[in-house]
Amino acid sequence: MSLGLGPSIDYEIVNQPNVVDLLVSFCYASLYTRASSTDGGIREFPTGLGLQVPKIRKPDSRTPESNLYVDSQKHRYVTKKHAVVLVDPLEVDFDWDNSTAKIVSNPNEVDLEEGQWIVVSTTVLNKSPNPFPPEQTILHHARVVSNISNSLHLNVVSRHTIPTFSEWFNVDVSTVREWVGKKSIPGYIVTYDDDLDDLRDEYQKAFSMMIILASLPSVAKMRTYLMSNQLQQLALAKWNKMSRASVNLLRWIISSNRSYIVQVSEEQTDARRREKIYGVDGWLQFRFAQGSPEKEGLFRQALEPIKKRQKTLLAWHGSGLDNWHSIIRQGLDFSRTLHGRAHGNGIYFSRTFDYSVGYSNYQGTVNTAQIWPHSSLRIQAAISLNELVNSPKDFVSAEPYFVVQECHWTQCKYLFVKSMGESKPGPDKNITTVTPKVVNTDGVPEFVQDPDWVTTGTHGSMLFVPKYAFPSAGDGRDDAVGSRKNELGESEIISSDEDEEDVKFLYPQKALRQAIQTYETDFRPGTLDLSTLPQLAPPSYATEISQKALGQEIRKLQKIQSTTSPHLLGWYINFEEIRNMFQWIVELHSFEQTLPLALDMKKAGLTSIVLEIRFLRGFPMSPPFVRVIRPRFLPFIQGGGGHVTAGGALCMELLTNSGWSPANSMESVLLQVRMAISSVDPQPARLEGTTYTQRDYSIGEAVEAYRRAAANHGWELPADLLDASLNA
């Protein structure tokens, strides 16, 4: 499964909880650095999402008092008593056990209404034998149930300490609760209605986001809730244990991820076990790849002139936890200098695991203040195993480290994570951090490294790397070509002086079979008869902003399509035939041949799935409407899947207001739609019949099915949905 490339965040939490934990943990670490320093950490903030944050600021000498307020004319009152700056606070007496609060003072006349989200800030004196820290502030996130004569009844959904920037100040909430006793305690209430975009300082934005993430329940608890009653199709957006802000921020973290990440299983019976790399004991493994077909195409082009047996090299890259949130979105680059550039400008790699891991700031200990409080993984460090073009002579430096200036000459393939595990094991524990001692690689073909540039694992151990994970290194030979039997029946490695052409000569049938499997597709661009499809006139609501946004998307996709092999891309748009930029016809093709959908298509004589994308009045602020035109799919209730509704619309949270972000590119939308249709969970997509007769889905039935799906999941529909059904 690809995070950010799936049908919904709920689906991804259920199916890949550790990957979601990983993404949230990386984000939290990046926010920690940005909030506590002048540089580093998160590079891009969620903008244009209307993300509401509490009126709580970090005490910081860099922040002038005028910047504490979103509206300086309205807000004039703050208090700095609780280790934070509270804007427009109401003074209250708070009953921890009964979740009630009595308003004592309301100098700014803040109105609190039923259903409103608030935060109660309480500071408690340390009554333990250890007097450090002398006091601790707890934030209670709550929804107002009722407000009768300034007496509030609250539904408290989360409690946590204030995000600190020193691990010495971390105290468990249950410990603080014991200090309180049975009495009411003084506190302050602030509302949850500042827009993140309006905060003037980036470190204050980062601090506000840390507070929201600290209020999240663990991924395991989210998963337990979602699976508690699958017949009701529960959704996080409906759960009373999460604020709308926390759901929206979690959605942004997942949907803005542009990489393919999936955990490599430790289970002996799991198919993904064959992807496991041996020689890195004690580290969790994740398959990792950037999701850009354009970069993949450039990487493959760079491999074409390489005539060596091993077209690629392996190398490690270590980086601090606070950098990985950006790396998995933007890839490795050298725009920031963190450790100097003694060997030139470029991305630094090492063939020694122990050396690279030093740059992850892992020395056996970690500053726990940067760990997401509810993480099950509790990540200490992360390091990636990367594939490089095997041309060290063209690197900026090859010794003692690889320094690569061409970013597209590198691809992250694996992510290794050092996990502390849960601090307190509980019933919702869902991770395994123990690497099996027994190494069984029977039947798994090995990626053979270039003997001149061998990369090693922990403590200098030899790596066993499965060839499945590195298809780019393919040299025209199948798995059996890497070795031959000598007269004694022992394996004999082909010497490095046998080049690619020699192997093709020695093993022509195997080379041909590999080439056909890798490079050919039965799809032929430009053969679709567009006259049989809906043709809409440009809409009257076309604005300059939307036309500019669509023009940029079209130019970007044209470039990607022109530089990427069709079978690698998996989608096709006939740009020359676009007469209305608000309506696109897209063909999805070259599906994995073992998918039931691909088998059905072959029987029906079809080489593509035809989609229509209609851009609504509010684009790019509202999502496009995406539907299948042909062929018809087997409905879900009859055993179909692939997230295609009975009317042909796509059942994806991404394509509703609940999951859409203006930051989404159409490249990512096409990737996500293709991934959703290819998904076999909970059941694979199937065609309605394998004897194809042209019976297209209508726009009316697609819109109606889209409405039903959104209602069932609790997703918010675009206000301009009516535009999709006009001029059908």
- Of the chain, the end-to-end C-alpha distance in Å amounts to 35
Quick one: tokens of 227?
Answer: 């699976």
Quick one: tokens of 393?
Answer: 């002579």
- Residue 504 phi/psi, 5-degree rounding, is -60, -35
Question: In whole angstroms, how far apart are CA 13 and each of 20, 304, 320?
Answer: 6, 39, 25
Rounded to whole angstroms, the Cα distance separating 277 from 314 reads 12
Q: Do 476 and 511 contact (CB within 8 A), yes or no?
A: yes
Which residue's entry shows tokens 């293709």?
674
Rounded to whole angstroms, the Cα distance separating 341 from 359 reads 13
Rounded to whole angstroms, the Cα distance separating 500 from 311 reads 10
Cβ-in-10-Å burial (0-12, 13-18, 19+) of 61 comes to exposed
Q: What is the DSSP letter of 620?
A: T
Rounded to whole angstroms, the Cα distance separating 356 from 353 reads 5
Q: Is 407 a catalytic residue?
A: no
Q: What is the 3-state secondary structure (H, E, C) of 233-272?
A: CCCHHHCCCCCHHHHHHHHHHHHCCCEEEEECCCCCCCHH
- Which one of the listed residues 27, 407, 412, 651 is annotated catalytic? 651
Rounded to whole angstroms, the Cα distance separating 239 from 220 reads 14
Question: In whole angstroms, how far apart are CA 378 and each of 127, 262, 292?
Answer: 29, 18, 29
Give the list of residues 6+ apart from residue 306 with CB closer than 8 angstroms, or none: 389, 390, 391
Which residue's entry shows tokens 């669509």?
550
Q: What is the DSSP string of 303-343?
A: HTT--SS--EEEEEEEE-HHHHHHHHHH-S--SS-SS--TT
Return the bridge partners of 414, or none.
287, 385
Cβ burial 713-726 (10 Å sphere, 16+ → b, else e): bbbebbebbebbbe
Rounded to whole angstroms, the Cα distance separating 47 from 677 reads 29
Quick one: tokens of 71?
Answer: 């509206």
Quick one: tokens of 260?
Answer: 């393919």
Nearest of 493, 259, 250 to residue 372 by alpha carbon? 250
554 C-beta neighbours (distance < 10 Å), count: 16
Q: Which amino acid is at 92?
A: V
Rounded to whole angstroms, the Cα distance separating 449 from 502 reads 19
Q: Which residues are catalytic?
A: 651
